[in-house]
Amino acid sequence: MMDEEILRLLREHPSVFLSGEEISRRFKVTRTAVWKRVKHLRTLGYEIEASTRSGYRLIRSPDVLTPSEIKPLLTTKWMGRTIHYFHTIDSTNSKAYQLALQGAEEGEVVIAESQMKGRGRLGRHWFSPPFLNLYLSVILRPNIPPYRASLITLMAAVATADAIQKYSGLLPMIKWPNDILLGGRKVAGLLNEIHSEMDRIHFVILGIGVNLNMDGKMFSKEIRDVATSLKRERGQTISRKAFLQSLLEELERWYAIFLQEGSATVLEAWRERAKIKGKRVKVTSFGETLSGVAVDVDSDGALILETKDGRQKRIVAGDVVYT
Ligand code: BT5
């Protein structure tokens, strides 16, 4: 707590030294205690100049996603205004789910620097090494029936793709239902979990993982050829803080569009990014694999597939491979 307060104070006075005496007076602690906190902050990557005569000055902050680093950058009205931050966690989705059950509000966000049990769909694993990427879960409480919850995934895919494009200038594609690709490789994945009654959603946990600064060799062997990161594609280290800021803005914007205008605008943007019409695909859904041509997604976000015999199938969940 005191670390955050000291940082806030130092940030408020970027170009001058703050004397140890003044800081110790403010927090009613000894000057030695202040010096200990400064030493600790240095171990976290904060570059703090210290002079016995003049005091302390913040030179540079590390690219960590703590609330005190993120909040000053935020331009959102409500998205991410409360951040639950963890150095390491099992899964941000699991934590957000618990918090939502305890009454956490719409827009509260769980962020972790690494996940021990990062989750994909159907119990799959999401590779989540520390301090390189983005792992976040947003609590949403939309007033929509459960059968429309897939649209939240589509909405979030559009928002994530927009954030990637705005931030990097690269052109991401969306692959139904929850992949964001760069150059045909997965750069981000979405995991949407709902808690609901038959006809009412209590909350949605929107989990987003974006690979930002992983180098090719850092990916595990299984995903090296199918996954990528923004750094790998752009050849430059990405500021995780700045990217997070841009992602939260896009999520707030697209969620508002979805709630105010319904699904049409979201689906239009989604179609533009997915270019799915007419693609030959193989879809695995509930243990069954179907081949055919993708016709479209319908107004609830389900995939419409035309099989060889000319019949159309409506698929609500599954994995798609382009063939
Ligand atoms: C997903 O599942 O793509 C959803 C991923 C959601 C991750 C976020 S991180 C924050 C939040 N908290 C969580 O616990 N999860 C969410 P799916 O479509 O099932 O894809 C999983 C597959 O993607 C794996 O089986 C791997 O093949 C591949 N994969 C695993 N880690 C990856 C990574 N870091 N980058 C790209 N591909 C990965």
What's the whole-number mean pLDDT along residues 66-92?
Answer: 95
What pLDDT, on the 0 to 100 scale, is given for residue 321? Answer: 94
State yes or no: pLDDT of 1 exceeds 80.
Answer: no
Q: CA–CA separation, 238 vs 133, rounded Å?
A: 9
What pLDDT does 14 receive?
82
Cβ of 254 below 6 Å from ligand 1? no
Give residue-wise pLDDT tens across range 248-293. 999 999 999 999 999 999 999 999 999 999 999 999 999 999 999 9
Residue with tokens 């709630």: 259
Contact 68, 12 (CB under 8 A): no
190 Cβ closer than 6 Å to some ligand 1 atom = yes
Percent of the chain with pLDDT over 70: 100
**For the chain, what percent of residues have pLDDT higher than 90?**
93
Interval 204-232: pLDDT, tens: 999 999 999 999 889 989 999 999 999 99
Structural tokens at position 69: 């680093």
Mean pLDDT, all residues of the chain: 95
Q: Give the model's pLDDT for residue 47.
A: 96
- Say if residues 127 and 219 touch (Cβ distance below 8 Å): yes
Looking at residue 192, its pLDDT comes to 96
| Predicted pLDDT of residue 216 | 87
Q: Determine the Cα angle at 149 with ends 144 and 150, to 5°.
A: 145
pLDDT-based confidence at 143, cuts 50/70/90?
Answer: very high
Contact 303, 153 (CB under 8 A): no
Three-state DSSP at 280 gives: strand
Q: Cα(198)–Cα(304) distance, rounded to whole angstroms? A: 24
| Closest among 117, 154, 106, 115 to 135, alpha carbons compared | 115
Q: What is the pLDDT of residue 258?
A: 97
pLDDT for position 15: 82
Q: Which atom in ligand 1 lies closest to the alpha carbon of residue 115?
A: 14
The string of DSSP codes covering 148-207 is: GTHHHHHHHHHHHHHHHHHHH----EEETTTEEEETTEEEEEEEEEEEE-SS-EEEEEEE
What whole-number distance in Å separates Cα of residue 42 and Cα of residue 187? 32
> Looking at residue 121, what is its pLDDT?
96
Q: How many other CB atoms are there within 10 angstroms of residue 43's CB atom?
A: 7
85 lines ligand 1 (CB under 6 A): no
pLDDT of residue 13: 86
Whether residue 192 has its Cβ less than 6 Å from ligand 1: no
Pocket flag, ligand 1, residue 224 (CB < 6 Å)? no
Rounded Cα distance, 168 and 206, in Å: 23
172 lines ligand 1 (CB under 6 A): no
What does the alpha-carbon distance between residue 234 and residue 172 come to, in Å, rounded to a whole number?
12
Instruction: Kindly write down the DSSP assignment for every residue of 207-268, as one continuous string.
Output: EEEE--S--GGGS-GGGTTTB--HHHHHSS---HHHHHHHHHHHHHHHHHHHHHH-HHHHHH
Would you list the DSSP string of 11-65?
HHSTTS-B-HHHHHHHHT--HHHHHHHHHHHHHTT-EEEEETTTEEEEEE--S--
Closest CA to 214 of 192, 234, 197, 241: 234
For residue 83, the model assigns a pLDDT of: 97
How far from 289 is each of 90, 158, 176, 307, 318, CA to CA, in Å?
32, 27, 15, 11, 9
Which comes out higher in pLDDT, residue 52 or 164?
164
Q: Report the length, in residues, of the chain.
A: 323
Residue 84 has pLDDT above 90, yes or no: yes
- Most distant CA pair in the chain, distance: 83
Lowest mean pLDDT: which of 15-19, 103-107, 291-295?
15-19
Strand partners, 173: 181
- Ligand 1 atom having least distance to the Cα of 93: 12
Site to substitute for ligand 1 among 126, 221, 285, 321, most atoms within 8 A of C-beta: 126
Q: Is the CB of 177 under 6 A from ligand 1?
A: no
Reported as a pLDDT band with limits 50, 70 and 90, residue 2 is confident
91 Cα–ligand 1 center, Å? 11
Q: Mean per-residue pLDDT for 163-186? A: 96
pLDDT average, residue stretch 22-28: 92
